[in-house]
Amino acid sequence: MASNLGSVGLGIETEEDYRELVDGALARVSEEIACPPGLYAVTCYDHGGELWVHLATGDDGFVIDGVTPFHRTENVIPLRIDELGQHDDDNPFEGRCYAWVGNEDHPFSCELVDYAVHAATETPLQARLAVIGLAHSVTGFEDEAAFTAAQDGEMTFAPNFFIPTGLFAPEDDEAPTGSDRSMVWFAGTVRKIAEHRGRTAYRQISVESLAATYDVFAEADIVTGPVVVGGIVEVSCRLFGRLLDSDAKGRA
């Protein structure tokens, strides 16, 4: 089963593994980012993975409130953020943006690893976001013809379709909440492939889809079919991003 930590080479199996991961990260912090609830302690690993530890301000110092995985990426997406928000299950460091990609080509939701830094920002705003996808499933096809031939339903999809599934409620069901709002299902052309190893092995697949290119990170055992440069992949993933710059103003 896919995990967000495993997707960036930080896979764990036990609670002891988790404690070891967090303790090790805090022993070699690369960057500290202050925010109203406390501090993001960011550890950047040589393989490109990152662990953002949420340190809440307590009476006797900082208390670990949670973690978020991320990964170094060169893919930056311009977008218009219409809303910043949280769900009841989020801790004060967690939240997401609801935005339009490119020239309002399509909407999406994205988990913000630095949400608490920007929570008081006025919206709407124009921004640039470093965005990655942490995969739940990846299916590869040698080319567009193979992708088209594999579709056996009444509805067929273009090889660069993008559906922000987390923003829609299935029929007779409640809408997704929390980080599930940032789930997407899309296809696109593979531009780059890289193999990495941290605590665990994982794969980086750069995918050009509708209006943007995404770096998708996946544990090796969830990738099926041929994944080749120039081929097509179909991906289900959760989007994570870091806000790089914007025309934002703070709320009073």
Predicted TM-score (pTM) of this structure: 0.92
What are the φ/ψ torsions at residue 119 (nearest 5 degrees)?
-60, -30
Digit-coded pLDDT (tens) for 75-132: 999 999 999 999 989 999 999 999 999 777 889 899 999 999 999 999 999 999 999 9
Residues 6 or more apart whose Cβ sits within 8 Å of residue 137: 2, 222, 224, 235, 236
Per DSSP, helices labelled H in 8-154 are: 15-26, 115-118, 144-149
Residue linked to tokens 């040589």: 46
Summarize the confidence of residues 20-35 as an average pLDDT: 97
pLDDT of 80 reads 93
Q: What is the pLDDT of residue 24?
A: 97
Which of these, 202, 244, 198, 252, lies nearest to 227 by C-alpha position? Answer: 202
> What kind and span of H or E run contains 6?
helix 4-7
pLDDT the model gives residue 21: 97
Q: Look at residue 176 and tell me whether its pLDDT is greater than 70.
A: no
Q: For the residues 159-180, what does the mean pLDDT come to? A: 74
The percent of residues above 90 in pLDDT, for the chain, comes to 82
Burial category of 92 from C-beta neighbours within 10 Å (exposed 0-12, middle 13-18, buried 19 and up): middle
Domain boundaries, the chain: 4-71, 76-246
Q: How confident is the model at residue 252 (pLDDT cuts 50, 70, 90)?
A: very low
Q: In sequence order, what DSSP letters do the residues of 210-226 get, joined into one string?
A: SSSEEEEEEEGGGEES-
- The CATH code of the domain at 4-71 is 3.10.450
CA angle 119, 111, 42 (to 5 degrees): 80
Give the mean model confidence (pLDDT) for residues 221-244.
Answer: 97
